[in-house]
Chains A and B, each alone.
Chain A
Amino acid sequence: MSILGNRVLRVEDPRFLRGEGRYLENMPLEGAAWVTFVRSPLAHARVNAVDTTAAEALPNVQVFTGADVDAHPFGPPPYWNINPAMVRPLVARDVVRFAGEIVAVVVSEDRASGVDAAELVMVDYDSLPVVLTVEDAAKDEVLLFPDEGTNVAARGGSQEHDDGFFDGCDVVVSDTVWSQRMAAAPLEPRSAAAELGEDGRLTLWATSQTPHTDKMVVAGILGFDPAQVRVISQDVGGGFGAKMLEVEGLLIAWLARKLGRRVRWTETRTENMLALLHGRAQQLEFTLGGSRDGKVLAYRLDVLADAGAYPILGAFLPNLTGLMASAVYAIPKIEVESRSVVTNTTPTTSIRGAGRPEAAQAIERALDLYAAEIGLDPAEVRRTNFIPQDAFPHTTATGATYDSGDYEGALDLLLRSAGYDELREEQRRRRAEGGPVELGIGLAAYVEISNPVAETEFGEVEITEDGGAILRTGSFSHGQGHETTFAMIAAERLGLPVERVTVVKGDTDEIPQGAGTFGSKSTQIGGVAGRLAADEVVERAKGLAGDYLEASAADVVLDPALGRFHVVGTAEPSLSWVDLATRASTDGRLGELKVSQEFQAPPTFPFGIHLSVVDVDKETGKVELRRHVAVDDAGTLINPLVADGQVHGGIAFGVGQALYEEVVYGEDGYPLTGTFVGYAFPSAAELPSYERVEMVTPTPHNTLGVKGIGESGTVGSTPAVHNAVLDALAPYGVHHVDLPCNGENVWKALQEAKA
């Protein structure tokens, strides 16, 4: 009986439950100097002078400005095709482009005196006009990089429009969804620390999802030989795509070298809300054409993305949005055009979903508008247009090749699980009764892309002297439970109990390479790499066991239930892993039982359908999420307990976008949501329990059949809730509500419809 597919309790839990989490801020780091960043309060300004005299008059305080920092600026990799001139200096020099940009770095002996000194750094600014919205930025009137002559940082898709694109369509619907700016808001604020060893090697401790990539970036920007850089990321308190190396970590590393001493930094929440990169911020203008009987014939999507002040990953993500524009539907013709523009706001990056939620948010609104126009039930218009189950692998008009799926099966399962007909009946009844609270039912189907850029991951399995195993992975866990899931994968192949497999991650000296964790790809490449390594270890162990049992390796088998090697056909004599490891240690052959593997595979396409039930108070606009039913299919599940958790968290993140969250700037570009008071992501009180419905359609792209599940819930839930709110308001002629569908936005939409 395989351990895979069992709800194994997480082995990493006890240390977190006991308050022994190895978060970076908890490290003692004796003798470390404190670093405090002085950040611009202005969104766009010329920096005339930075006077550090008063600050440096305090005892044991040093201050560094942009002129002091001799490092390359920070920018995107060239293959993202982002304007390479729009790079960010680690510390601003002559101009600041967003509120929160670093203008000086204070080094002190402790946290409190750092804050005191930072307040004494005098910066002489001249305000410049600000540009805060993508529409304004696209006008190119106020330029962030005047030498470039435009705010457009990147383009994607086709810029050629076919004027007859919707010819032959009986019905054409269109609207614009602003997928609002969101904060990743991990509960743990970021920290960084660094020291230069006596051997000249740099160690950077980071709160990062991608230590190996970070190592290369540190080396490149600060001019180190990569072999001279070690990055260690231990327990990380949530990341959601946003916790990767940024200018702060680079400055910490730079300071450690400059000062020849250990330095550390931990941000405040306010700093985190300003400076940790934001996400989404895409304007999605869509047009959909189809026949009267419900067949979608053509779809056009224009994406205008807000890259923030310095374009990086967020400027690239419209490429993923465009790639996924077809969603779960067989649409013969699709046109996508995207532009990413710079604005005087915090730069944007990936956050949970990263480009795919935006695609779903657009087409799922389009489908509902189309369904309403032709008088078809939203479930039926989806059914009519699904890519059929027998069409996989299926290449969409945007060029994505979906591996496997059963969209109609998912719809049927969802409708049955949710009691769709009964819900519609309740809605009819309540509408007839005419009470103050309207019932809304929203559907959203989605397909997302996990491991989107077909990456390679590293896995190594080593049998230890005591007959246990170590699995080293280049993947990273900041809450996803790799220590359990990956251990299960190796344990199953080795025939060891899960607790005998120790998963090691996050240290670039310990693990030679790694892609890290983003794009929901951990299990499907990292897990599989570990599995391949375990298989090869078993093969080698058979050779060793053959020698000890005086048999040919070809005749030796592993009994996975007992974890014992014996000659085929005779259960005894046999050797356990402990026996084997003990003898191999004595013979100096234990090293044979250490194998590294890499695994690379194409993307996979998890999918699902969500249904939301909301109550909308038509007097106040208040929306209450009553039920959320979710079918999510990410292929085979290694640990359904952990998979449930990933889906639940994803749903909450998506509901947060649908109903509550938005990063807001004042007219002058000053952030108004700089704390958890201003930026309200939902608490337990705003959310219901979710009704998760499992469905399993394995991928052919790996031996485990697994796809990614970390982001699925987020992709499906936002449009389902959005559609539910609009469904509730349908009797009032409301066809559009801005995200988030909070009381204010819903109330406004109702007033506009009345007017």
Chain B
Amino acid sequence: MTNIAHETISLAVNGERREADVEPRQLLVYFLREQLGLTGTNVGCDTSSCGACTVLLDGESVKSCTVLAVQADGGEVTTIEGLASGDELHPVQQAFHEQHGLQCGYCTPGFVLATVSLLEENPSPSEEEIRRALEGNLCRCTGYHNIVRAVEAAARAGA
């Protein structure tokens, strides 16, 4: 293992203040998964194509495989673990449940967070806007039909 100087970063993850020493090359997704144990953020590809690793950084969706942990220094990160309030699912999570917007579940955290970000920007998107907004998230199970229904339902619920 090569010796690489570590940098100290300070950020809020799901509302909790975290300080950590990270290698400058450490990707945010592996920082979350391996250093913080937040394994809800999945890794689906090596090329920023699939969006399984989507998290919110300062309220906007980012692919955490394309962000270095040091870039999140001083920021606020929300992962899938930080979305529900206790027993109560976030309205977007609830909508995915009710509309059967997930099957194997692997892409789901990314889709849910991408949806939260989309509805923040556009509270009542059309079907075409939803499909275009979620172009960066891939799902192999659902054929997207019920994911689109879930986003529409979440929008109606005022998520």
List, in ascending order, chain B residues with CB within 8 A of A116's CB: 1-2
Q: Are B142 and A649 in contact (CB under 8 A)?
A: yes
Q: Does any Cβ of B come within 8 Å of A189's Cβ?
A: yes
- Interface segment, B5-13, B43-51, B69-77? B43-51
Determine if B143 and A16 form an interchain contact, defined as CB atoms under 8 angstroms apart.
no
A19 touches B80 (CB 8 A): yes
Pair B137/A479 contact, Cβ less than 8 Å: no
> In the complex, how many angstroms separate the beta carbon of A62 from the nearest chain B beta carbon?
15
**Cβ-based interface call for B20 (8 A):** no
Q: Which residues of B contact A113 (CB under 8 A)?
A: 1
**CB < 8 Å: which of B45, B89, B144 contacts A14?**
B89
Within A109-152, which residues are at the interface with B (CB < 8 Å)?
109-110, 112-113, 116
CA–CA, A212 and B135, complex, Å: 38
Verify if B61 is at the interface (C-beta below 8 Å from A).
no
B143: which A residues are within 8 A, CB to CB? 648-653, 687, 690, 713
Contact, CB under 8 Å: A479 / B141: yes
Residue count of chain B within 8 Å CB distance of chain A? 55
Q: Which of B38, B84, B131, B143 has the most CB of A within 10 A?
A: B143
**Interface 1/0 per residue, A224-250 and B, CB below 8 Å:** 000000000001111010000000000
Say whether, besides A188-B42, A676-B47, A685 and B132 are in contact (CB < 8 Å): yes
Interface assignment of A167: CB less than 8 Å from any CB of chain B: no
Among listed A20-28, A412-420, A746-754, interface-contacting one: A20-28
Give the complex CA separation of A515 and B41 in angstroms: 31
Known: A21-B106, A479-B141, A684-B131. A675 touches B47 (CB 8 A): yes
Q: Are B104 and A684 in contact (CB under 8 A)?
A: no
- Are A185 and B97 CB-contacts (below 8 A) given A268-B46, A269-B45, A479-B104? no
Query: B131 contacts which chain A residues (CB < 8 A)?
Result: 683-685, 687
Residue interface bits A394-434, CB-to-B below 8 A is 1, else 0: 00000000000000000000000000000000000000000
Chain A nearest CB from B41 CB (Å) reads: 7
Whether a CB of chain B sits under 8 angstroms from the CB of A187 is: yes
Query: Which residues on A sit within 8 Å (CB–CB) of B139?
Result: 187, 684
A269 touches B104 (CB 8 A): no
B130: Cβ under 8 A from any A Cβ: yes
Assembly CA distance A411 to B131 (angstroms): 30
Say yes or no for B146: interface residue by CB 8 A criterion: yes
CA distance A97 to B79 in the complex (A): 43
CA distance A689 to B82 in the complex (A): 31
B89 touches A19 (CB 8 A): no
Contact A187 B52 (CB under 8 A): yes
A17, A238, A270, A645: which contacts B112 (Cβ < 8 A)?
Answer: A17
Contact of A683 with B100 in the complex, beta carbons under 8 Å: no
Contact B103 A481 (CB under 8 A): yes
Q: Is the CB–CB distance between B147 and A684 below 8 Å?
A: yes
> Provided the pairs A188-B44, A683-B137 are in contact, do residues A237 and B146 lie with their beta carbons within 8 angstroms?
no
CB-defined contacts of A268 to chain B, threshold 8 Å: 46
A576: chain B residues at CB < 8 Å are none
Find out whether the CB atom of A681 lies under 8 angstroms from the CB atom of B45.
no
Of residues 297 to 341 in A, which have CB atoms within 8 Å of B's CB atoms? none
Q: Does B117 contact A (CB under 8 A)?
A: no
Are A677 and B100 closer than 8 Å at their CB atoms? no
CA A478 to CA B42, docked complex, whole Å:
16
* Given A17-B97, A188-B44, A676 and B80 contact (CB-CB distance below 8 Å): no
Query: B residues within 8 A CB of A713?
Result: 143
Is A54 on the interface with B (CB-CB < 8 A)? no
In the complex, A642 Cα to B141 Cα: how many Å? 12
Chain B 124-148, CB-CB to A under 8 Å as 1, else 0, gives 0001001110111111111111111
Instruction: Determine whether the beta carbon of A187 is less than 8 Å from that of B100.
Output: no
CB distance from A271 to the nearest CB of B (A): 9
Find out whether the CB atom of A478 lies under 8 angstroms from the CB atom of B104.
yes
User: Nearest-CB distance from B131 to chain A (Å)?
Assistant: 4
> B21 within 8 Å of A by Cβ?
no
For A649, what are the chain B residues with a Cβ–Cβ distance below 8 Å?
103, 140-143
B39 CB to closest chain A CB (Å) equals 4
Q: Does B16 sit within 8 A of A, measured CB to CB?
A: no
CB neighbours of B2 from chain A (8 A): 116
Q: Are A9 and B100 in contact, CB atoms less than 8 angstroms apart?
A: yes
A10 interface residue (CB < 8 Å to B): yes
Contacting A23 at CB < 8 Å: which of B106, B135, B141, B147?
Answer: B106
Question: A237: which B residues are within 8 A, CB to CB?
Answer: 42, 104-107
Whether B39 contacts A684 by the Cβ 8 Å rule is no
Contact status A18-B84, CB under 8 Å? yes
What's the nearest-Cβ distance from chain B to residue A491, in Å?
A: 19
Chain A residues near B (Cβ < 8 Å)? 9-10, 12-21, 23, 25-26, 59, 109-110, 112-113, 116, 185-189, 235-238, 240, 268-270, 478-481, 641-642, 644-645, 648-653, 675-677, 681, 683-685, 687, 689-690, 713
Interface residues, chain B, CB within 8 Å of chain A? 1-2, 33, 38-47, 49-50, 52, 79-81, 83-84, 89, 93, 96-98, 100, 102-109, 112, 127, 130-132, 134-148
A-B contact pairs, 9 of them (CB 8 A): A13-B97, A16-B102, A187-B44, A480-B103, A645-B142, A653-B140, A676-B49, A676-B50, A684-B139
- Give me 7 other A-B pairs in contact (C-beta within 8 A), A113-B1, A649-B103, A652-B143 excluded: A18-B40, A18-B93, A116-B2, A187-B52, A189-B43, A685-B134, A687-B145
